[in-house]
A and B are shown apart, each in its own frame.
Chain A
Amino acid sequence: MEIRDLNKLKSQFVTRQVGNELVLVPLSNNVSNMKELFTMNETGRFIWENLTEKMTVDKLAEKLMQEFEVDEETAIKDIKLFLEKVSQMKN
């Protein structure tokens, strides 16, 4: 999944911050998906909340580096892990 597609996906979830984490519940038109609830840790929550229409991987990595004081390699790795998780949420 590309980062530019994620902003659209955000509108299909209702989220609630619990401590530093995030609970995500998908909007659904049937009962079959009701067992699919998702959580994100603090890093995932930060990425999710900073997804905007014009966000890029580079800009997001920069924000992560500033927020969590991590190097670029770690930030890119976290974004890739995030994208993998979100791809599972969509399936």
Chain B
Amino acid sequence: MNLKIADFTIKLFSEKPFQLEEGYLPFVDGDEACAPDVSVECVSGIPDSLLDGCKSLFEARSEDQWFYSVYEYHAGLAFRIFNQQTKNSVQQIAVLNKALNEWKIFTVPGPENDLLPLKYPMGPILLYYLTVNHEAIMIHASGVFDGEKGRLFTGFSGFGKTTISNLWKESGSKLINDDRLIIRKRGNRFFMFNTPMYYPALPEEAPLDTIHLIRHAPENTTKKISGALAVSKVLAFCIQNNFDKRFIENHLDFVNKLCSVTSVYETGFLPDAGIVQYMKDHE
């Protein structure tokens, strides 16, 4: 089975039956002949001692919840993925080769012996490691396209990404995604793509023209920023596993190019329809 996400082809295969969460189903690609950017072997059961003695490289966790840990594994990487419902129990061990294009995902089978190889957070991790190997980034953002310009809204959680993208949607724009986008370069232009969510949504893409670093504010304001400030502020909202210099260099180069051809604004907004025209008038 192939998935097509953000123009990346992901080949999934297994000796056992496996399933995808419903958010991935619209991304299933019928073109089986397409050469994959990454292949993923899904295996039932987690080997006990696979990570014994492996050096820890990176931990993704909050105060009370583990998401995943990354380890040095032979020449490549290995991941311990934690279950987000039961908290802190391991749902998967995944191994990624040195070239970052072959995964082997060991998964605890479900109650009916079924496998969910891309169960959250495994899916986004797989997508993130595609971006570090290509001219691409994954960013916490929402995106809209009004038929002329593509706009991306990024900011801290609770700063209004969903609110502002819904205001644009109500004014007739196409919603690309309201949580996580992948940005890629095609020729001299940048494009934003949606990624699978927990709900089914069709694959979407749009050119990217402006980036807004948003926040709620007592009045609508916008200020264009550029240079190192723009690069650092946009990069801060990209998903990053910064234990490897190569990953950082790749992201820095990409965001530097992105900010040189797109306009970046710091935008405060009131949560009403007036922000749509305000942005059109002030960009």
- The answer to whether A37 and B235 touch across the interface, beta carbons within 8 angstroms, is yes
Knowing A23-B228, A30-B60, A30-B61, the reply to whether A16 touches B252 (Cβ < 8 A) is: yes
Assign chain A's interface to a size class: 20 to 34
Select from chain B the residue with minimum beta-carbon distance to A22.
B228
Cα A40 to Cα B227 in complex, Å, equals 11
**Other-chain residue from B56, B61, B245 in contact with A14 (beta carbon distance below 8 A):** B245
Q: How many cross-chain pairs have Cβ atoms below 8 Å apart between A and B?
A: 67
Cα A21 to Cα B233 in complex, Å, equals 14
- The answer to whether B60 and A23 touch across the interface, beta carbons within 8 angstroms, is no
**Other-chain residue from B228, B235, B242 in contact with A27 (beta carbon distance below 8 A):** B242
| B108 adjacent to chain A (CB < 8 Å) | no
Q: Which of B56, B235, B259 has the most CB of A within 10 A?
A: B235
Cα A16 to Cα B251 in complex, Å, equals 10
Knowing A16-B252, A23-B252, the reply to whether A28 touches B232 (Cβ < 8 A) is: no
Q: Which of B57, B58, B228, B243 has the most CB of A within 10 A?
A: B228
- The answer to whether A18 and B256 touch across the interface, beta carbons within 8 angstroms, is yes
B56-85 contacts to A, CB under 8 A, are 56-61
B216-237 contacts to A, CB under 8 A, are 227-229, 231-233, 235-236
How many B residues, CB 8 Å from partner? 26
Select from chain A the residue with minimum beta-carbon distance to B230.
A18
- The answer to whether A21 and B245 touch across the interface, beta carbons within 8 angstroms, is no
Cα A34 to Cα B138 in complex, Å, equals 14
Nearest Cβ distance between residue A36 and chain B, in whole angstroms? 8
A-B contacts, 30 of them at CB < 8 A, read A14-B248, A16-B231, A16-B249, A16-B253, A16-B256, A18-B231, A18-B259, A19-B228, A21-B229, A22-B228, A23-B235, A23-B252, A23-B256, A25-B242, A25-B251, A26-B242, A27-B242, A29-B56, A29-B243, A30-B58, A31-B241, A33-B242, A35-B236, A37-B232, A37-B235, A37-B236, A38-B232, A39-B228, A39-B232, A40-B228
Q: A16-B253, A18-B259 are in contact. List 8 more A-B contacts (CB 8 A).
A: A18-B256, A23-B252, A25-B235, A26-B242, A31-B61, A31-B240, A39-B232, A40-B228
Using a CB–CB cutoff of 8 Å, the interface residues on chain B facing chain A are 56-61, 227-229, 231-233, 235-236, 240-243, 245, 248-249, 251-253, 256, 259
Using a CB–CB cutoff of 8 Å, the interface residues on chain A facing chain B are 14, 16, 18-19, 21-23, 25-31, 33-35, 37-40
